[in-house]
Structure 1
Amino acid sequence: MQTFTFLLGFLLISTLVSAQIKPEIIPVASGEIKIYPVLHATMAIQYKEQVIYIDPYGGKKAFNGIESPTFILITDIHGDHMNLETLREMEAQNMQIIAPQAVIEKLSPDFTQLTSLGNGKELNMGQINIEAIPMYNLPEDSTSRHPKGRGNGYVLTIAGKRIYISGDTEDIDEMRSLQNIDIAFVCMNLPYTMTIEAAADAVLAFNPKIVYPFHYRGKNGYSDVENFKRLINVSSDRTEVRLIDWYPTL
């Protein structure tokens, strides 16, 4: 009986460990930045004692093995970005949340530590600087799922590295004009954001050192991120495309 109990306990621990997310490690002079690809557009970034959760989605279990957040960044009001169920499971009502005003209005008054950050604004959070970047669909008309000014992409500067998180956007001028981006997370799914061809063309315009396709599950399945990588590789020897699985079985 004791042997059975030990084996059962070992299997449970092994299952929990295997479910933990392996981070991408970005070396910096002062140590390392850890980036955890959680699910779809959701990630966590850790630098020293600071941990950021970005668009928490997938339930509390999706963050198994990741330290609790110092603060939370949200890009837009849609449920795969501003996910109330996940935020409540995490007991985020008293956590620091930074988001565009449209998100703040939906979270208030249940969530108490809210900071509004609009397109073009900056905020310093300890060792991390946050720039809010426009994200929107084209054309800019009444049919847009993501109108200009409602949501944010973000550029985070951490230990000298500039990390771009696109939010739900298309191939917009504000993305093309980005400069000195070390790491980029770029969306590509229809009909919500853009095609892989449009995403590749935008990436080639601003030439990040590393790009990760993310947010690539669309209405008809997954976008062809392998083809996205090929499009970048045939046109650029500067940008490295890194493919990781954003859709684990939780």
Structure 2
Amino acid sequence: MAKRHTLSTVVLAAFVTSGASLAAQAPNTVPADGGDIVITPILHASVQVEHAGTVVYVDPWSVADLSRARPADLILVTDDPSHHLDPAAIERLRKPGAPVVLTAKAHESFPHGTVLANGERGTFAGVRVEAVAAHDMTPGQPWHPPGEANGYVVTLGGQRIFFSGVGECVPEIQALQDIHVAFMPMNLPLDRMRPRPVAECLKTFRPKVVYLYHYDNASARWFANPEQERPDNAQEIAATIQALRDALEGESIELRDADWYRRR
């Protein structure tokens, strides 16, 4: 079935201030062997992670302000649309010869990387990477068919970090073990991965720390097309994130705030 992506958060009102600037994002840290892991949320599905001098970038996107981004030792691409696969952003950020790990579908558009299929694993730039299934189960558009997209588990300093990419809570995600940090999507306004399903998914593999990302497709569309009017959805998004917090109440899972859609 053909797939079309409509870029569609959950930004607390206090975060809705100014610019998708990497420099403006406050880094988050996670204790790890050999020093803290530094996590920098950037925009929508784009994340920069650093540990012991190694920089891993997931789904770099030129729409974000990349002027202060660190040169990447490893780039991971979860899917093929431009907000996941952006060849210009990859070439701008990757160090000479740095590996790019991606899906077979993305490889058709960017043939300069290494393909990992769902369930495969490898070591790139000294980093252990496992590809995890990422697809939809509930009919609708956009549609992510089985085998076309990847999530990734990355091991840094003994900590396993899961980037879910897009899709729903498939059995392969539920079977994950020993995940310290998880990045989970909430594909609003679609009736997939709403607060309750996200919470129930998290309870199956129980990461210690969770970042919600890839959740405000309307604002992501605006970043890609800033001549349009920005959607006035901050209150709706804040309420949705609060619903997820409520659904996780009493669980030993830390939901961290991050501003993925900062106003310019």
Using the size of structure 1 for normalisation, the TM-score is: 0.81
Aligned counterpart for 2:81 among listed residues 67, 78, 82: 78
1:232 alignment counterpart: 248
Q: Which SS does the other structure have where 2:248 is aligned?
A: helix
Check if 1:46 corresponds to 2:54: no
Q: Which SS does the other structure have where 1:233 is aligned?
A: coil
Name the amino acid aligned to 2:104: Q
1:133 alignment counterpart: 132
- CA deviation after TM superposition for structure 1 residue 94, in Å: 5.9
2:256 alignment counterpart: 242
Aligned counterpart for 1:21 among listed residues 18, 25, 35: 25
Aligned residues: percent identity? 28
- CA deviation after TM superposition for structure 1 residue 93, in Å: 9.1
The gaps in structure 1 that reach 5 residues or longer are 1-14
Larger radius of gyration: 1
Contact 2:25 2:259 in 1 (8 A): no
Q: 1:142 to 1:183 in 2, by over 3 A?
A: closer
Contact 1:20 1:65 in 2 (8 A): no
2:203 alignment counterpart: 204
Supply the distance in 2 between the matched residues of 1:18 and 1:174 (Cα, whole angstroms).
32
Q: 1:215 to 1:193 in 2, by over 3 A?
A: farther
The gaps in structure 2 that reach 5 residues or longer are 1-18, 219-230
2:172 alignment counterpart: 174
Q: Which SS does the other structure have where 1:35 is aligned?
A: strand
Check if 1:63 corresponds to 2:63: no
Supply the distance in 2 between the matched residues of 1:226 and 1:143 (Cα, whole angstroms).
26
Number of residues of Structure 1 aligned to a counterpart in Structure 2 = 227
- CA RMSD across the alignment: 2.6
Contact 1:189 1:196 in 2 (8 A): no
| Higher RCO (C-alpha under 8 Å, 6+ residues apart) | 2
Using the size of structure 2 for normalisation, the TM-score is: 0.77
- CA deviation after TM superposition for structure 1 residue 87, in Å: 3.3
Structure that is richer in strand per residue: 1
Name the amino acid aligned to 2:246: R
**Which deviates more from structure 2 when the two are superposed, residues 225-234 or residues 156-165?**
225-234
Supply the distance in 1 between the matched residues of 2:70 and 2:173 (Cα, whole angstroms).
31
Check if 1:121 corresponds to 2:115: no
- CA deviation after TM superposition for structure 1 residue 248, in Å: 1.6
Name the amino acid aligned to 1:176: Q
Contact 2:34 2:52 in 1 (8 A): no
1:195 alignment counterpart: 194
